Structure 1
Amino acid sequence: MTEKYTANQLDILKEVINIGGGNAATSLSKLLDKKVNMKVPTIQEMSYDVVFEKIMPADTIVKAVQIQTSGDMAGMFLFVLNEFGFNDITTELLRGYEESQEIAESAVCELVNILVNNFVNAIAKFLELDIQTDVPYIMEDMFGSLLTSAYLEEFQYDENLWVFKNEYWIEDNKWESSLYFVPQDEILENIISKIK
């Protein structure tokens, strides 16, 4: 899997993810009426052990919003938050409103729905792709279980995995969250061929 993509192809994929993530950051900025910055997206091949060492320990309890995509970019988006990230985001979203667990989770789902759809729409327009998104679903589990399940659901059975991750800062404060894209097999090759 290490030689699956050339450096040039990875640059192309990074630019595509950058376009989608930048569009999502703009929509988030308008929604919150605050400055939103996005770190240069991560596109890197890692073993599961390295992911759990460098990104987050496998046994960390997280909340994750899952959105399935179909069409020319079939796969799954995962918006992963630890406890601090969930609290920061819900405090921001529900400022001035009475907060409950159900309302907080619903607000986060709607936020991720907006992020992902703006992300997908930008890529679809740029590459003239047909992409559909499903309804968001929130769950809580260990990070390792959620990530492993996501890759298996998308028919990714390799010992290593490609990590596509975007991170966002709200007025220079990093939210403890990351947006991941888990593609189905051969989807990345199709995207690269569209750019060619």
Structure 2
Amino acid sequence: MNTDYSVLELDALKEIINIGGGNAATSLSQLIDKPVNMTVPIIEMLEYSELYEQIMPEDAVVKAVLTKMLGDAEGIFLFTVDEAASDSIVTMMMPDGVVATEQLADSALQELVNILVNSFLNAIIKLLDIHLITSVPLLTKDMFGAIMSSVYLEQGQYEENVMIIKNEFYYAGDRLESSLYFVPKPGILEKMFTLLGVGGE
């Protein structure tokens, strides 16, 4: 992974993430019929030790939904949520009087991520005029460190530094303990920068 991106390249990437995340937040608001806001995207280059110190403890148990991005650009979207926030999100999605079983709750969370990711990608497709599709969301429950390491290895990212591209969502002024990450295949960001006209020589 190139760790020497220019300020212009990182600003362009942040703008893409901002547009995509804004679309995702709007879709989430429409889904639950309640206002949802998104923070300014976080884009950081961290060592693995810093990742678990600054983002989330390595041994924190989370539910994670993984969705692969395929087509002209490849990568993995990773939506992580702790148990309490998962229950809150599912409750918001369920009609009044409906009791969510574990199976129903997991299906609702997967559908939520499917909507978020595809809303995100629709914005990128329009901006860059490229072809992108997504895989069926896969839900897993494990320690944050194990999930993140597996995703990075699967994408062929073997450097000690990892790029964190993260959106956080807020509902009624409170942060939903969930985040949407994007882990790109090597070379994908450089391809996006070239399409935007900000790539290096």
TM normalised by structure 1 equals 0.97
CA distance in structure 1 between the aligned counterparts of 2:154 and 2:59, rounded to whole angstroms: 20
CA distance in structure 2 between the aligned counterparts of 1:53 and 1:86, rounded to whole angstroms: 23
Preserved contact between residue 36 and residue 171 of structure 1 (Cα < 8 Å)? yes
Structure 1 residues 106-157: Cα deviation after superposition (integer angstroms, max 9, x where no partner):
0000000000000001101111011110000100000000001001001100
CA distance in structure 2 between the aligned counterparts of 1:129 and 1:43, rounded to whole angstroms: 23
Deviates more, 1:107-116 or 1:28-37: 28-37
Within a 5 Å distance, the mapping from 1:25-104 to structure 2 comes to: 25-96=25-96, 97-104=98-105
Task: Give 1:3 shift.
Answer: 4.5
CA distance in structure 2 between the aligned counterparts of 1:118 and 1:2, rounded to whole angstroms: 28
Q: Counterpart in 2 of 1:177?
A: 178
3-state SS of the aligned residue for 2:130? Answer: coil
Q: Counterpart in 2 of 1:111?
A: 112
CA distance in structure 1 between the aligned counterparts of 2:137 and 2:119, rounded to whole angstroms: 14
Deviates more, 1:112-121 or 1:27-36: 27-36
Structure 1 residues 29-53: Cα deviation after superposition (integer angstroms, max 9, x where no partner):
1111111110000111001111100
CA distance in structure 2 between the aligned counterparts of 1:129 and 1:25, rounded to whole angstroms: 22
CA distance in structure 2 between the aligned counterparts of 1:173 and 1:83, rounded to whole angstroms: 16
- In the alignment, structure 1 residue 190 sits paired with structure 2 residue 191: yes
Q: Counterpart in 2 of 1:123?
A: 124
3-state SS of the aligned residue for 2:140? Answer: strand
Structure 1 residues 44-64: Cα deviation after superposition (integer angstroms, max 9, x where no partner):
100111110011000001000
CA distance in structure 2 between the aligned counterparts of 1:121 and 1:2, rounded to whole angstroms: 26
Q: Could you list the runs of 5+ residues in structure 1 that have no partner in the other structure?
A: none
Amino-acid identity (%): 48
Preserved contact between residue 3 and residue 45 of structure 2 (Cα < 8 Å)? no
- In the alignment, structure 1 residue 133 sits paired with structure 2 residue 164: no
Task: Give 1:90 shift.
Answer: 1.2
Task: Give 1:2 shift.
Answer: 7.0
Preserved contact between residue 2 and residue 45 of structure 1 (Cα < 8 Å)? no
Task: Give 1:85 shift.
Answer: 1.4
Q: Counterpart in 1 of 2:148?
A: 147
Task: Give 1:95 shift.
Answer: 4.3
CA distance in structure 1 between the aligned counterparts of 2:163 and 2:172, rounded to whole angstroms: 29
Aligned residues: 196
Q: Please, what is the CA RMSD of the aligned residues?
A: 1.1
Q: Could you list the runs of 5+ residues in structure 2 that have no partner in the other structure?
A: none
